[in-house]
Amino acid sequence: DTSGGGPQLCVTNKDVIRIVAENAISYLDQHPNMRNISVSQADTARYCHCDECEAVNKREGTPMGSQLAFVNAVAELIEQKHPNVKVGTLAYWYTRKAPKTIKPRHNVQIQLCSIECCTLHPIDDPTCEKNRAFCQDMEEWSKICNDIWIWNYNTNFRYYDLPFPNLRVIGPNIRYFLRNNAKGVFMQANGNGTSGELSDLRNYLISRMLWNPNFDDKAILEEFVKLHYGSSAQPILEYINMFHDNAEKEGLHPGCFPSPKDVGLNPEMCKKIMAYFDTALKLADNDVIKARVEKASICAYRAMIEAGGDMTDSEREAIIDKYIDLCKRYNMTFASEQMQASTFFEKLKAKS
C-alpha cells in the first residue's frame, strides 16, 4: 500500500505488517543460524503520509513513531516463531530522532546512523552544531534502548579519491560511541571501491580503533605512515597535518558528500598538496616505497583536476593522463559511490 505518497509502504497497514513478518519468518526458516534480521526503511525520504501514519508521527514528534510501531509489530510476530532472533532497524535520516512514547521491543535493535554529521570535528565536539543534534538524539535513544548499534560514515561518497580530512575524528568518534553504550559500530568507507584517498591508512586506523578504542589513534596514524611509507613518511605526515589544520582553521564542517570547496581545496591548497607528494616521491628509496607513494598521490592529482584553478590545455591534459595512469596502475575501481572509475575516465577525456 503506497497510497500515502510512497514509494515506501504504509507502515500502519495491517496487511503490510503481516506480509513483512511472513517474509521475514520464511527467510529465517531457510537460514536457521541467523541471529538477527533487518526490517528497515528504504533509502528515500518519501515515506507514507496517510492520515493514520501522520497521526502517529505527529503524536510522537518524528516519523520514527509509525516506523518503530511497525517494526515492533513485525518483531512481535517474528518472536513467536524465532524467539532468539533480534530484529534490527535503522534510525536514519527522517527516523533518526527517537519517538516520545514508543519504545523498541526487547528483541528490537536500533542502528543509529550519523550521515548528517560533520566529518572534520569529533561527534561530541560541543562547538559543532551539526554534531550536537546527533548527540542529543543518541542520548534520547539511550534512555529507551539498550541495544544500540552505530552506522558511521568515513569517506567522501561523492569523490572517493579526493583529499578528505576525517583522520583525526575516527578514534574520538569510536570512543564516544563506546561511552554511550553502543554495542557495535559499522564504519562505512568506500566499500565498493579500491584505492580511495589514503585508503590503506584509513582502513588500518579504523580496524585498530575498533579492535581497541583505547588505543592512541594519533600514535597509530603516525606508526602506519612511518612503517608503510618508510623514507617518504615525513612529507606525507606533513601533508595530513597541514590539510587537517587548514580545514579546522577555516571553520569548515564537511559532511560525507562534500565538494572540493567544503574540504578547503582551492588552487593554492592543491599545489601545496602536490608539492608534498612530489617531495615524498623523491625521497622513496626503493620500488616498494615508490609504488606506495604513487598510489597515495592519486588524491593530489584528483584535487588538481577538481580545484587546481586555471591551467593551459596541455597542463590539464597532462594531469588527467597521469591521474588515469595511476588509477589504473593501482586498480582504483570506483571514483565515487555511484560511478565506476572507467566511466569517470571517459568523462574526463571527453572534457579535456
Taking each continuous run of H as one helix and of E as one strand, the counts in the chain are: 13, 5
The answer to whether 128 touches 229, Cβ cutoff 8 Å, is: no
| Residue range 135-152, pLDDT digits in tens | 999 999 999 999 999 999
Q: Is 17 exposed, middle or buried (0-12, 13-18, 19+ CB in 10 A)?
A: buried
| Residue range 21-73, pLDDT digits in tens | 999 999 999 999 999 999 999 999 999 999 999 999 999 999 999 999 999 99
Say whether 184 sits in a helix, a strand or coil: strand
| Residue range 286-334, pLDDT digits in tens | 999 999 999 999 999 999 999 999 999 999 999 999 999 999 999 999 9
* DSSP string covering 28-55: HHH-TT--EEE----SSS-----HHHHH
Q: What is the DSSP letter of 340?
A: B
What's the rounded Cα separation, in Å, for the pair 199 and 201? Answer: 5
199-208 contacts: CB < 8 A, separation 24 or more? 200/224, 200/228, 200/292, 200/295, 200/296, 201/167, 201/225, 201/228, 202/154, 202/155, 202/167, 202/170, 205/167, 205/170, 205/171, 206/154, 206/170
Q: What is the mean pLDDT of residues 156-185?
A: 97
The pLDDT of residue 272 is 99
The pLDDT of residue 201 is 98
Strands 148-153 and 86-91: unpaired
The pLDDT of residue 184 is 96
What's the rounded Cα separation, in Å, for the pair 207 and 9? Answer: 37
Per-residue pLDDT band for 1 (boundaries 50, 70, 90) equals low
Per-residue pLDDT band for 273 (boundaries 50, 70, 90) equals very high
Whether the pLDDT of residue 89 is over 70: the answer is yes
The pLDDT of residue 352 is 72
Backbone angles phi, psi at 334, to 5 degrees: -130, 135
The answer to whether 35 touches 71, Cβ cutoff 8 Å, is: no
Q: What is the mean pLDDT of residues 98-106?
A: 98
Whether the pLDDT of residue 5 is over 80: the answer is no
Q: Is 259 exposed, middle or buried (0-12, 13-18, 19+ CB in 10 A)?
A: middle
Per-residue pLDDT band for 6 (boundaries 50, 70, 90) equals low
What's the rounded Cα separation, in Å, for the pair 341 and 193? Answer: 9
| Residue range 171-229, pLDDT digits in tens | 999 999 999 989 999 999 999 988 999 999 999 999 999 999 999 999 999 999 999 99
As a whole number, the mean pLDDT across the chain is 97
Per-residue pLDDT band for 351 (boundaries 50, 70, 90) equals confident
Single-letter code of the amino acid located at 145: C
Q: What is the DSSP letter of 8?
A: S
